A = this chain, B = another copy of it.
């Protein structure tokens, strides 16, 4: 599973998707990552521009990592809001 992110909102969606793929609740992830469930809720919805450390905490708990790469062409379908 590979997910692009260019905005806090997209990042939130990606994190949520990764979490769901692993059948974890926000509470589960909160315990694994040390990040509060309330905070996870906000991050997943993109209502806060979180600190990168928090992102790393979440990704580590999800066994994921960040990769930085050249911008890829944007697919038409991706321009529409997913949620």
Residues of B within 8 A of A14 (CB): 68
User: What is the 8 Å Cβ interface bit string for chain A, positions 14-31, against chain B (1 contact, 0 not)?
Assistant: 110010000000000000
Q: Are B67 and A3 in contact (CB under 8 A)?
A: yes
Q: Which interface class (under 10, 10 to 19, 20 to 34, 35 or more) fits A? A: 20 to 34
Q: Are B52 and A59 in contact (CB under 8 A)?
A: no
Q: Are B68 and A5 in contact (CB under 8 A)?
A: yes
Q: Are B65 and A5 in contact (CB under 8 A)?
A: yes
Further contacts, 11 of them, CB under 8 A, given A4-B67, A52-B55, A64-B68: A4-B66, A6-B60, A6-B65, A8-B52, A8-B56, A11-B68, A49-B52, A65-B71, A66-B68, A67-B67, A67-B68
